[in-house]
Structure 1
Amino acid sequence: MEIDCSTPDAAAAETAAPAPLPVGTRLLHIGPHKTGTTSIQGALFAAKDAMAEHGVVFPAPSRHPMEAALGVCARPGMMGETKPTEGHWQRLVDLVHATGKRTSVVSSEFFADAPDDETIARIVDDLGRDRVHVLITLRPLAKIMPSQWQQYVQNGLRMGYEDWLTHMLRKAPYEKPNPSFWRRHRHDRLVERWARVVGAENITVVVVDDSDRGGLMRTFESLLGLPDGLLEEVPDTANRSLTLAETEMLRKLNMEFRGNGLPDELYSKLVRGGAVMHMKNTCRPAPGDARISTPVWALEAAAGIGAEMAGRIGAMGVRVLGDPALLSVVPAVVPAPEGAAPAGARIAPEVAAQALYGALAVAAAAPARRAAPVRTVHQTSSRELVRVLGHRVLKRLKRT
C-alpha cells in the first residue's frame, strides 16, 4: 500500500460553526464505522421530539436503521442474523418522504458499504436527489483500527490483532480477512465515490476531534439549525469497546465455535446477543484492564495513509469541517516489549461468569422439549455432541 507523508493544509478546513443547511434538506450521514456514529444516532433518536419542534424530523423508527441500509446495499446482516430485505429500505424511504418539506436526518454507517456508483445513485434518488446532502465523519485510522478489529471479533473473526494488522497494512491486496475494512476506511476513496454521484458541493466532511467530546453534537446542531445543547450524548453500555482480555476470550471462543461446526444462528443468539451483550451491560472495565494496543509500526503506517487521504480529500472541493491534520497524527504510546504478554490481559472471573450467564439466560428462555435419543451419549464423540446440542438449542430459540 503506498504511503504519502505529505501534510494537508489545515487552513483549508472550516473552524467556525457551519451555517445551517437549507430548510427541507435531507441530511444523509453515512459514517463510516467507528467515527462517532452510535453516539450521534443515540442523541438524534433521544431528541427526536424536541427536534420536531424546530422543524427537523428523525424519520427512522429506531436509533439506527441498519436493516434499511444493509438492504439497499445488498449486504448480509451480522453473522447468523436474517438477511435484510428490500422491504426494510422501502419502509425507510416512505418515512422520509412522509416528512414533506421539513428538514430530515438519516444516519447509518452501513451506507458507506454501498458497493458501486449505481447503488449510491439509487440511495440518493430514492431519498430525493435534489434535497440530499451527504455528511461523512472521519477519525484517525490509529483510533479506528483497534475498535474495528474487536468489532470484527464480535462477528466471528478468529485472527489476532497484530496478525490482522499485518494483513490490512502489509499484505497486498489488503483485503483478507475483512475486505470491508478498506472499503469503509480508505476515506479518500469513500468521499470520491459519493462525490462522483452527488457532486462535491453536496458533501460535508467532518473530522472528529476526540479531545472535544461535544464537538460532533454541536456540528450536527449547526447543520440542522438546532439550538445549542439540544443534542446530548446518551450512555450506551452495549456499545462500549471490549478490553483486550474480553476480546481474546471471545476470539478463542470463535475458534472453538468454528472448529465444532456450530450454526451461525446459534452464535448470533447465544454468543453475541447473550454472552457479549450481558457482559457489556453488567461489567465496567477497570482502570487497570489492558486495552487493545497498536504497535508503533502500524501507527506510523496509519498516520502516513491518513496524511495521503487528507490531502486527496482537500483537493476534491468538498466542504471540510475540523482539522484534517488530525488524520495523520501518530499517537504517543509506550509499546510493550516484543513478544511480551500484556499486563492485565487475563479476564477477571466475574467477567467470564457474566458472559457465561448471558449465554445461559438466552438458552434458558427457550422452552424445553423432550426428544428420544437415537443413541446414548457415551456412544457419541464430544465434537458431535457439541454440534447436536447447538442445533437443538437453536431450534428451541427459533420456536420462541
Structure 2
Amino acid sequence: MTDDLALTSAPPADEWRLPTGTRLLHIGPHKTGTTAVQAALFEIRDQLAEQGIYYPSYDRHPMHAVLAVTGRHSMMGDDPPKQRHWDRLIAEVDAAGDQTGVISSEFFSEADPEVIARVVEDLGGERVHVVVTLRPLVKILPSQWQQYVQNGQRTTYENWLHHMLRVPPYEQPNPSFWRRHRHDRLIERWVDVVGRDRVTVVVVDDSERDMVLRVFESLLGLPDGTLPGVPVATNRSLSLGEIEMLRRFNVEFRGQDELPDNFYSRLVRYGAIQRLKEARQPGPDEPRVTTPRWAQEQAVEIGREIADWVAGSGVRVIGDLELLYQQLPAAAEEPTSAAMVDPEAAAQALFGAIAAVPTLNGFGAPAPKPVPPVPPVKSEKAGVPVHKVRSAELVRILARRARRRLLHR
C-alpha cells in the first residue's frame, strides 16, 4: 500500500477539492458513515448555502426520491415512492445553478447500469463526481443484518450468514445485500458510466473520530471543523437482547394475517424501535451481536478481493485500503443466540410504543384528544406483571394485544 493513499492528519485540501459547480453524488453504500455525513450537511445547510454549496433542505436524506428513480420498493409499510419525489429533487438541484450541489443517499448503491446513466444525466452529466465510502465487510455484516430485522425480517443472524456466504447464488433472504456490498462491482458499475477520473473512494477509518466528515470538508473546500458531528440516537446498534426480542416479535407479527404492513411501519419501526433507541442505552455488560469466526474469515477474504480491485481500478482513493480486510479481534465460536439474555427492559420500551395505537387516527394523524395511558399488561396465562414474563412469551402477548386493538378499531 503506497503512502499517498493513506489519510494524513492534515488532508491535502487543494488536491482533493472538487471544482466549483460539481454535483457531488455520495452513493453510500449502507453502513459506511452515510448517516453522519447526511446529518452534518443537513444541520448546517443554510451556512453551506452562504458558501456556495447546496444541500437539499426538505429532508436529511432524499430516500423516497432515490427509491423512485432506482425502482426499488420502500421499506415495509412505508408509502410507495413516486416519480414526483425524484422530479422535485432534480428541480431543486437545477435551481442551485452554478453552486456546488451535494446529494447523498446510500440507496444509490442499488442502481442498475441504465438507472445510473439516467441519474448522472439528470444531475448534470459531466458535472457529477461520485463518492463511495467504504468500511470493512466484516463490520458491515452485523449492522446490515440488524437493519433488515428492523424492517421486519425474521431470520437469525447465524442462518442469515449461512445463506449470504455459503448458499449460492447468495441472494436469499436479501437480494439487496451483495448488490450493495460487493463494493468492487458497485464501484465498477458507476465507473462504467462516469469514468474512473470522476470517482473517489473513501476508506473510513473508525479509529479516527469524524474522519469521514473531514474528508468531505476537503472535497468541498470547507475549513476543517465546518461539518459538525451530529448525534443521531436512532442510528445506534441494538444489543443482542434488543435485536433478538425484535426478531421474535417479527415472527409473531408475520403470523397475524389481519395486521397491515403500515401498522409495523408506524408503530414498530417509527414508534417502538425509535423510542427504544432514544430512551435506552444498553449497559456495558449487555451482549452484542458477534460474528462467528468462519464468517469473519470469509468476509476478510472478500474484503481483500475488493481492496485489490480498487487499488488497480485507477479511481482516486482516500484512506488505507488495507483496512478493508483486517479481521476483528473477537469472534463468536458459538451461535450468538446461545448467549442471549431475556430482554425485558427492551421489551417494555417496545410495548410502550405499541400501546400507543389508540393515539393514532387511522395510523396517520394524531387523535384530537390524548388517550389515557395503558395500564401495565399482565401475562395472560399466569396473571404476572409483564416485566416478569420471559421475552418469548412477552412478544406473543404483545402481538395478540395489538391484533385485538386493531380489529376492535
- Taking the aligned partners of 1:202 and 1:184, their CA distance within structure 2 comes to 20
Q: Which structure has more RCO (C-alpha within 8 Å, separation ≥ 6)?
A: 1
Letter in 1 for 2:96: T
Looking at structure 2, the residues matched to 310 and 65 of structure 1 have their Cα atoms a distance apart, in angstroms, of 29
Q: CA deviation at 1:272?
A: 1.1
Aligned-residue CA RMSD in angstroms? Answer: 2.1
- Structure 1 position 309, deviation (Å): 0.7
Secondary structure of the structure 1 residue equivalent to 2:24 = strand
Deviation at residue 351 of structure 1 after TM alignment: 2.5
**Counterparts in 2 of 1:136-151, with a 5 A limit?**
136-151=132-147
1:383-398 map, 5 Å: 389-390=405-406
Q: 1:131 to 1:14 in 2, by over 3 A?
A: farther
User: For each residue in 1:251-307, what CA deviation from the matched residue of structure 2 results, as whole angstroms up to 9, or x when unmatched?
Assistant: 001001111222211111111122111111111111111110001111110000000
The separation in 2 between residues aligned to 1:363 and 1:141, in whole angstroms, is 42
Residue in 1 that maps onto 2:318: 321
Counterpart contact for 2:200–2:316, Cα < 8 Å: yes
- Sequence identity of aligned pairs in percent? 52
The unaligned stretches of length 5 or more in structure 2 are 362-366, 369-396
1:178 aligns with 2:191: no
Matched, 1:235 2:231: yes
2:109–2:186 contact (8 Å) kept in structure 1? yes
TM-score by length of 1: 0.88
Q: How does 1:199-214 map to 2 (within 5 A)?
A: 199-214=195-210
Separation of aligned partners in 1, 2:217 and 2:196: 22
| Aligned CA distance change for structure 1 residues 338 and 353 (closer, same or farther; 3 Å) | closer
1:301-331 Cα deviation digits (max 9, x unpaired): 0000000011011111110110000001111
Using structure 2 for the length normalisation, give the TM-score: 0.86
Closer, same or farther: CA 177–339 of 1 in aligned 2, 3 Å? closer
Offset at residue 185 of structure 1 (A): 0.1
CA distance 1:165–1:339, shift in 2 (3 Å): closer
1:359 aligns with 2:354: yes
Relative to 1, partners in 2 of residues 1:98 and 1:181: Cα closer, same or farther, differing over 3 Å? Answer: same
2: CA distance, partners of 1:363 / 1:79 = 21
CA-CA distance at 1:359 after TM superposition? 1.6
Per the alignment, residue 383 of structure 2 pairs with none
**Where does structure 1 lack aligned partners over 5 or more consecutive residues?**
1-8, 369-381, 394-400
Q: Which residue of 2 aligns with 1:245?
A: 241
* 2:218 aligns with one of 217, 222, 225: 222
Distance 1:158 1:290 in 2: 20
Bigger mean CA deviation after superposition, 277-286 or 137-146? 277-286
Q: How big is each residue's C-alpha offset from its partner over 1:176-224, in whole Å with a ceiling of 9 and x where there is no partner?
A: 0000000000000000000001111000000000001121010000000
> What's the counterpart of residue 36 of structure 2?
39
Runs of 4+ in 1 over 6 A off after TM superposition: 382-386
Counterpart of 2:55 in structure 1 is 58
Sort the Cα spacing of 1:163 and 1:195 in 2 relative to 1 into closer, same or farther, 3 A.
same
Aligned-partner SS, 1:234: coil
Check whether the contact 2:53–2:99 (CA below 8 A) recurs between aligned residues: yes
Aligned partner of 1:375 in structure 2 is none
In the alignment, the residues of structure 2 paired with residue 288 and residue 385 of structure 1 have an alpha-carbon distance, to the nearest angstrom, of 32
CA drift of 1:55 comes to 1.6
CA–CA separation in structure 1 for the residues paired with 2:7 and 2:401: 61
Equivalent residue pairs, number: 370
